[in-house]
Structure 1
Amino acid sequence: MGVVNGAAQAPVERVPKQDRSRATRQRLLEAAVACLAERGWAGSTVSVVAERAGVSRGAAQHHFPTREDLFTAAVEYVAEERSTALRALFPEGATDRRAVVAALVDLYTGPLFRAALHLWVAASNEDQLRTRVTELEGRVGRETHRIAVDLLNADETRPGARETVQGFLDMSRGLGLANLLTDDTARRARVVTQWAAILDNALG
């Protein structure tokens, strides 16, 4: 503790540089997803994201040299966070298959899916972005499939089991698309119940 003009001064608590850098990176990733979901690709620039994150454009470019770097990393980051949260819902395994179906369907609603969709649309028109987004979606898709197989307790050696799980995930993505324009909650609940029954029958 120091002394200034005869008075004791409390020591200044310093946050390690590495921790500050990690926190800045996380703020940028979260701001990028929010901007992409709300503004779309055209309205989401590095400057807009930096302002929302409360950092300078230079700081943003230090972490992510290009716009493509920033937004592909942002969608991947939040996808990983959602995967972690999904597993945390059933820490000791799932016994209620309908609850698992509902949780998996929820992956395809909300800001993350909306942000990813804007990224897909942009990638369809931009060659440089398309390669990166295709690779990203491949990784995210494989991880989501693994999580679904685990939580649904699906035996993929059973004929048709793998295709049934993949068909369910494709259907979930379709429900997410339907929910973009209107509140599809009521219909979605009925579809979830039906798919839980289909999976019970197909997976045993």
Structure 2
Amino acid sequence: MATPHEPKQDRSRVTRQRLLEATIDCLAEMGWAAATVSVVAERAGVSRGAAQHHFPTREDLITGALEYMFDTRMEQSAAEAATVAEVAEGVGRTRAVVAGLVESYTSPLFKAALQVWTHAAADPALRERIVPLEARFGRIAHRRAVQALGVNDSDPVAHHLVQATLDLARGLGLADVLTDDSARRKRIVDQWATTLHQALRTPHNPL
């Protein structure tokens, strides 16, 4: 927590981060309706005025939280990819990458984002903000998956296989929202990792 002795810029940064993290927690745990500026400010331990200084509107707060969620996930995936590259190879590496992608869609970050997507579907103004963000996020997520798998994305077969893996991961994340789907998810990850590894080892994209 920031203290009075910290520079003003540092206190401002800490306050902003606390608001973004509180927004994610509120969305994931209580849903869209409960994630108001007032509730988020209270959870973050700051005044409503301080919250509105950083994020003048609820839409600004939600958009900022989405960007923060994605940046956090990308940092985590980069660290995971580095670890996988060090300890796994062959089909083991492919499975570790697929499992990491799938698990990222069962995290509180995904559940929070899902709340925003659902609301944006019926709110044109919010949707106008979210769609460009999601398009950018999708491109970066695809590029990170390509790097983690170590494939040539210029090959259309490899490109579509990587995208199919991301789509599969998202679908399995949705299946986990209402009930614990972990046992079935593990079986699918195992089978898809084997299938993906074999498909990527074709003349189109030798590994």
TM-score for both structures, normalised by structure 2: 0.89
Q: Corresponding residue for 2:33?
A: 42
Q: Corresponding residue for 2:131?
A: 134
User: How many residues matched?
Assistant: 193
Determine what percentage of the aligned residue pairs are the same residue.
58
| Alpha-carbon distance between aligned partners in 1 of 2:126 and 2:79, rounded to the nearest angstrom | 32
Picking from 104, 109, 112, the partner of 1:107 is 104
Q: Give the 3 Å change call, closer, same or farther, for CA 93–16 of structure 1 in structure 2.
A: same
Q: Confirm or deny that 1:66 pairs with 2:57.
A: yes
Picking from 66, 69, 72, the partner of 1:78 is 69
Structure 1 residues not aligned, in runs of 5+:
1-11
Which whole-Å deviations, capped at 9, do the CAs of 1:158-186 have from their partners, x for residues lacking one?
Answer: 34111111111111100000000111111
Q: Corresponding residue for 1:7?
A: none
SS of alignment partner, residue 180 of structure 1: coil
Picking from 113, 120, 125, the partner of 2:122 is 125
Q: Confirm or deny that 1:52 pairs with 2:49.
A: no
Picking from 182, 185, 190, the partner of 1:188 is 185
Q: Corresponding residue for 2:172?
A: 175
Structure 2 residues not aligned, in runs of 5+:
202-207
Bigger CA radius of gyration = 1
Q: Corresponding residue for 1:8?
A: none
Shift in Å, 1:91: 2.3
Picking from 142, 147, 163, the partner of 1:145 is 142
SS of alignment partner, residue 55 of structure 1: coil
Alpha carbon RMSD of aligned pairs, Å? 1.5
SS of alignment partner, residue 170 of structure 1: helix
Which whole-Å deviations, capped at 9, do the CAs of 1:8-38 have from their partners, x for residues lacking one?
Answer: xxxx981000000000000000000110111
Which whole-Å deviations, capped at 9, do the CAs of 1:84-130 have from their partners, x for residues lacking one?
Answer: 11111232662311111111111101211111111011101111100
Give the aligned residue type for 1:187.
Answer: R
| Alpha-carbon distance between aligned partners in 2 of 1:34 and 1:93, rounded to the nearest angstrom | 29
* C-alpha contact (below 8 Å) 1:158/1:203 kept by paired residues: no
TM-score for both structures, normalised by structure 1: 0.90
Could you list the structure 1 runs, at least 4 aligned residues long, displaced by more than 4 angstroms after superposition: none
Query: Aligned ranges for residues 148-159 of structure 1 at < 5 Å?
Result: 148-159=145-156
Q: Confirm or deny that 1:31 pairs with 2:31.
A: no
Q: Confirm or deny that 1:18 pairs with 2:15.
A: no
